[in-house]
């Protein structure tokens, strides 16, 4: 009986430690992502790369962070995947000098994405609901 309790306690401790390390890794990845974002924006402004290249770079950084999260078995953040994709589209739109107004279209797509995620997204656990 005591052995079972010890095994159960040991298993719980291992799971808690894994969860702690995963949260810690997620925080570090977020910090790296924000750091790279500010560095990129600074470079884009200093080098006068223009809005198109700047927006594409921000989008690539955002998608890159989500790929890294996936690589480390952390859940991808659907909101940031959509936003990053929209940054890339906006940047390409600017680079290609498209004639149709993009902002209203992006706002509609972003609004639809938020609505879809609210109704069809996975429910968040209590632990993650404040993040």
Considering Cα of 55, then 61, then 62, then 63, what sign does the dihedral take? positive
pTM to 2 decimal places: 0.68
The stretch 54-83 carries a mean pLDDT of: 92
122, HSE (Cβ side, Cα atoms, 13 Å): 9
Q: Judge whether 44 and 20 are in contact, CB under 8 Å.
A: no
How far is the C-alpha of 111 from the C-alpha of 106, rounded, in Å?
8
Q: Judge whether 78 and 117 are in contact, CB under 8 Å.
A: yes
Domain that holds residue 61: 2-120
Task: Give domain status of residue 100, yes or no.
Answer: yes
Q: How many domains does the chain have?
A: 1
Give the pLDDT score at 129: 47
What is the tens place of the pLDDT at every residue in 4-47?
Answer: 666 666 677 778 888 888 899 999 999 999 999 999 999 999 99
Task: Give domain status of residue 128, yes or no.
Answer: no
């Amino acid at each position: 009986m005591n052995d079972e309790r010890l095994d159960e306690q040991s298993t719980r401790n291992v799971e808690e430690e894994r969860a702690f390390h995963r949260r810690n890794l997620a925080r570090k990845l977020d910090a790296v992502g924000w750091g790279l974002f500010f560095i990129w924006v600074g470079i884009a402004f200093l080098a006068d790369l223009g809005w198109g290249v700047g927006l594409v770079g921000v989008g690539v950084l955002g998608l890159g962070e989500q790929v890294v999260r996936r690589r480390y078995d952390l859940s991808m953040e659907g909101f940031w995947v959509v936003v990053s994709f929209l940054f890339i589209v906006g940047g390409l739109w600017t680079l290609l000098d498209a004639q149709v107004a993009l902002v209203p279209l992006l706002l509609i797509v972003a609004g639809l994405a938020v609505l879809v995620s609210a109704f069809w997204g996975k429910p968040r656990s209590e632990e993650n609901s404040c993040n």
